[in-house]
Amino acid sequence: MNLKAELNQKQYIAASTIDGPLLIIAGAGSGKTRVITFRIAHMLEMGIPQSQILALTFTNKAAREMAERVRELTGKKLPQLTVSTFHAFGVKVLRDTISSIGYKDNFSIYDTVDQISLLKESAREIRFDMEDENPQNILGIFSRIKTKRGDWDEVTSYYQGLYASYQRHLKLYNAVDFDDLIMLPIHILDTHPEILNRYTERYRYIMVDEFQDTSMGQYRFMKLLADGSRNICVVGDDDQSIYSWRGANYENIISFERDYPELKEVKLEQNYRSTETILEAANTLIANNTNRKGKQLWTGTKSMNKIEIAYPANERDEAQFIAEQIKGIHMRDSIKFGEFGVLIRTNTLSRAIEELFLMENIPYKMSGGTSFYQRKEIKDMICYMRILANPEDDVSLLRILNVPRRGIGARTLEQLRSLADMHDWSLHTAIQAAVYATDSPFSERAKTDLRSFLQLIEAFRPKILSPRKIASTLKELTDAIDYWEYLLQEHPKDEKIPTWKWRNIEIFIQSIEDYEKNPDNMNPSLFNYLNRISLTTKDEPDDDEGKVNLMTIHSAKGLEHEVVFLAGVESHIIPHARAIEDDPANIEEERRLFYVAITRAKQRLIMTSCRSRKVLREEMECLPSPFLEELPQHLLQETEAAADVEAAEATDYFQLLRKKLGGV
Ligand code: ATP
Ligand code: MG
């Protein structure tokens, strides 16, 4: 590898300065991620052991791509190199150290759906009235408390008892939530000097991509690890900070300057991604933000196209327009489907576009939406797997105890719960006591039902835990519980739904099999698999290059596409009405989002702004986003979006989706 040939001079300095703290703040497309990748490859070439290198990225996809690129550059396998997200790295640390704080290493990781169930369980136990509560809000408060972004105050202290119960149950079920993946490792490292020492000895070279979006917790985590060697390189762009609602804070850049006063700083100023037109539009827009480190950014790429803007009559015409444009450009300019990005501000905007894509046979994948893994049938399977991995996991147990129906009635469940509460047991332990204790107060019928459930778990546990037996055991399990029959019973009116759901399960099992067969997965185990999917809840299993990328702007961060569509460029959508209501200062964050969206485009950027849109079944008049006026008008060109009568005809969305999944 010839580093100097692959990088410009500033990038070269950034990639070859490996000792001491390094700060790289630079605009979109200036090669920040590329620098990290080459920096790692360079270190390896210099003979730094792979195990000493830790690179932290924002998404799993980014981590996979970076690791892959480094392998290509070095021609080595690199099993000891750690490139991962903060959360995945948190899991890794917890796996090795969580026993130091009284958990078992087969812990479950709870997503929002699980957290809500847990919250309800916790409320039930302490008789907290949830009637008029919004669980999401409560979880938001808990998250702020846990990540130390807030303190109990007059409003929130009402939930203190509930929080204590929630925390107690998490531990009882040997489960952690997402915030724990960062906060528990910090706690362990803070309180166990010998463990901290082990980590700082091991990771001597640390890099963080998308630094502007690290949370305060993630910053502390990083700092603890880096304080041994102080070889820490962070790269980011303050103009792309778009997660402040999740507690990310680009003041981390200021903290970094304070905590590492000896740092070197490198600025990258050449953009290699976009044309002049796109870059000028982005630069002009973002200059309207006051709260920023000003930057220079130039490109040598001449423009062929202006930025296009179309004003379709409604969201159906918008979808039609996008679909037609994609087909046209795909055919005319032979641009592969995978080179198109269609960006939306919120998930709800995807539906009309997905319908058209399905109708027009445009292959696509949606990311940032409801995850494949959260579909009911898949979640059921996952809960079975979790119970097999960690029998104390009551949230999963409650979910599947009567799926399929086992006749375990409400009364029995109440009895089990009071038994568990009384002894501070998990339900699994309570069931064991109910079945096997000599003085068990449970009825014979209840005991029989519970025993057969326990036997099921006991029979499948050793199977699924043996090497490379996850997929085959799961398949056997779905047959043993006759999940197909259950689906038929649940959906007596429409036999297509069971077929479709069953098909999803087959896809799921197939993806597990692929995981088990993949030689790159050094250690395929049930535990590792479950972690992996709980961390990729936003990605669907397939990662097909031949598909149009439909995604939210948030999930497009760091990515690039030849042609980018930005849909719903309307006031109330971007800037988002809610963001503005909460705090007018949020307009700057919305502008950064718009900046991120624009800067994903390499060659062409095509925006659409509907004149009306259906919101909750009501037709609403829409105005173009005020951000459009902030763009230099000579860079824009209006494109006609013709209405299409055919498209207005009703379509059966689910039928189309089934067609896509190949079911029926
Ligand atoms: P973002 O802020 O969006 O994350 P970034 O700063 O991380 O962007 P990269 O994704 O690393 O930018 O680079 C943008 C594009 O420019 C990539 O396709 C990359 O390969 C290319 N690129 C960057 N530097 C060079 C270079 N010196 N020579 C050739 N291509 C380059
Ligand atoms: Mg990047």
pLDDT over threshold 80, residue 651: no
Is residue 222 within 8 Å of 213, Cβ to Cβ?
no
Q: Which mutation among 34, 240, 267 tests ligand 1's pocket best, with the greatest number of atoms within 8 A of CB?
A: 34
Q: Catalytic residue among 240, 270, 277, 299, which?
A: 240
- Nearest atom in ligand 1 to the alpha carbon of residue 30 is 6
Q: Catalytic residue among 61, 600, 604, 613, which?
A: 600
C-alpha to C-alpha distance for 434 and 447, rounded to whole angstroms: 7
The pLDDT tens digits for 253-295 are 889 999 999 999 999 999 999 999 999 999 999 999 987 888 8
Amino acid making up residue 642: A
Distances, alpha carbon 310 to alpha carbons 137, 251, 561, in Å: 38, 38, 20
Is residue 605 within 8 Å of 308, Cβ to Cβ?
yes
User: What SS3 class is residue 334?
Assistant: coil
Ranges 105-109, 290-294, 309-313: which has the least confidence? 290-294
Take residue 606 and report the two structure tokens written for it: 């095509």
pLDDT over threshold 60, residue 328: yes
Nearest to 656 by CA among 321, 349, 355, 353: 355
Classify residue 174 by its DSSP letter: T
Distance of CA 654 to the CA centre of its chain: 25
C-alpha to C-alpha distance for 636 and 309, rounded to whole angstroms: 7
Ligand 1 center to 45 CA (angstroms): 22
Atom 14, ligand 1: residue with shortest CA distance: 29
Ranges 78-92, 138-152, 450-464, 631-645: which has the least confidence? 631-645
Is residue 407 within 8 Å of 448, Cβ to Cβ?
no
- For the ranges 295-299, 364-368, 397-401, the one whose mean pLDDT is highest: 397-401
Classify residue 102 by its DSSP letter: T
Ligand 2 center to 468 CA (angstroms): 35
Is 659 annotated to bind ligand? no
pLDDT over threshold 50, residue 542: no
pLDDT over threshold 60, residue 313: yes
pLDDT over threshold 80, residue 509: yes
Give phi and psi for 258, each to the nearest 5: -75, -45
How many other C-beta atoms lie within 10 A of the C-beta of residue 494?
A: 10
The length of the chain in residues reads: 664
Q: Which residue has the tokens 């592969």?
A: 336
Residue 579 pLDDT class (50, 70, 90 cuts) = confident
Interface confidence, given as ipTM, is 0.99
Residue 663 pLDDT class (50, 70, 90 cuts) = very low
Q: Which ligand has the minimum distance to the alpha carbon of residue 62?
A: 2
Nearest to 39 by CA among 88, 77, 78, 6: 6
Indicate if the alpha-carbon torsion angle 366, 371, 375, 380 is positive or negative: positive
> What superfamily in CATH does domain 373-537 come from?
PCRA; domain 4 (1.10.486.10)
Q: Which residue has the tokens 């809000």?
A: 137
In this prediction, residue 537 carries a pLDDT of 54
pLDDT over threshold 80, residue 540: no
C-alpha to C-alpha distance for 556 and 65, rounded to whole angstroms: 14
Is the beta carbon of 7 within 6 A of some atom in ligand 1? yes
Atom 24, ligand 1: residue with shortest CA distance: 31
Instruction: Tell me the residue ranges of DSSP E strands in 93-216.
Output: 108-110, 175-177, 205-208
**Any catalytic annotation for residue 209?**
yes
The pLDDT tens digits for 198-218 are 999 999 999 999 999 999 999
Is the beta carbon of 271 within 6 A of some atom in ligand 1? no
Give phi and psi for 231, each to the nearest 5: -90, 85
Same fold for the domain at 298-363+546-647 and the one at 373-537? Answer: no
Q: Catalytic residue among 111, 177, 180, 209, which?
A: 209
C-alpha to C-alpha distance for 552 and 427, rounded to whole angstroms: 39
If residue 534 lies in a helix (H) or strand (E), which one and from where to where? Answer: helix 526-535
Amino acid making up residue 452: S
Domain boundaries, the chain: 3-95+181-268, 110-173, 298-363+546-647, 373-537
**Any catalytic annotation for residue 33?**
yes
pLDDT over threshold 80, residue 647: no
Q: Which residue has the tokens 């924002």?
A: 58
Is the beta carbon of 298 within 6 A of some atom in ligand 1? no
In this prediction, residue 368 carries a pLDDT of 63
> What superfamily in CATH does domain 3-95+181-268 come from?
P-loop containing nucleotide triphosphate hydrolases (3.40.50.300)
Mean pLDDT of all residues in 82-88: 95
Q: Are strands 108-110 and 175-177 parallel, antiparallel or unpaired?
A: parallel
Residue 605 pLDDT class (50, 70, 90 cuts) = very high
Classify residue 50 by its DSSP letter: G
91 burial level (CB within 10 Å; 0-12, 13-18, 19+):
buried
Listed in sequence order, the DSSP H helices in 22-85 are 32-45, 60-74
Q: What are the residues facing 364 on neighbouring strands? A: 548
| Average pLDDT over the chain, rounded to an integer | 90
The pLDDT tens digits for 174-188 are 999 999 999 999 999
C-alpha to C-alpha distance for 337 and 326, rounded to whole angstroms: 8
Reported CATH class of domain 298-363+546-647: alpha beta
C-alpha to C-alpha distance for 548 and 365, rounded to whole angstroms: 6
How many other C-beta atoms lie within 10 A of the C-beta of residue 336?
A: 12
Is residue 118 within 8 Å of 395, Cβ to Cβ?
yes
C-alpha to C-alpha distance for 361 and 354, rounded to whole angstroms: 10
Is the beta carbon of 8 within 6 A of some atom in ligand 1? yes
Is the beta carbon of 295 within 6 A of some atom in ligand 1? no
Q: Which ligand has the minimum distance to the alpha carbon of residue 268?
A: 1
C-alpha to C-alpha distance for 621 and 637, rounded to whole angstroms: 23
Is residue 291 within 8 Å of 239, Cβ to Cβ?
no
Q: Are strands 618-621 and 612-615 parallel, antiparallel or unpaired?
A: antiparallel
User: What SS3 class is residue 194?
Assistant: helix
C-alpha to C-alpha distance for 477 and 384, rounded to whole angstroms: 9
Surrounding residues of ion ligand 2, Cβ less than 5 A: 32-33, 558
Half-sphere exposure of 217 (CA within 13 A, CB side): 24
Q: Which residue has the tokens 């980018």?
A: 564
Q: Catalytic residue among 180, 210, 237, 377, which?
A: 210
Nearest to 246 by CA among 136, 143, 139: 143
Residue 581 pLDDT class (50, 70, 90 cuts) = confident
Is the omega angle on the peptide bond into residue 312 within 30 degrees of 0, that is, cis?
A: no
pLDDT over threshold 80, residue 552: yes
Residue 141 pLDDT class (50, 70, 90 cuts) = very high
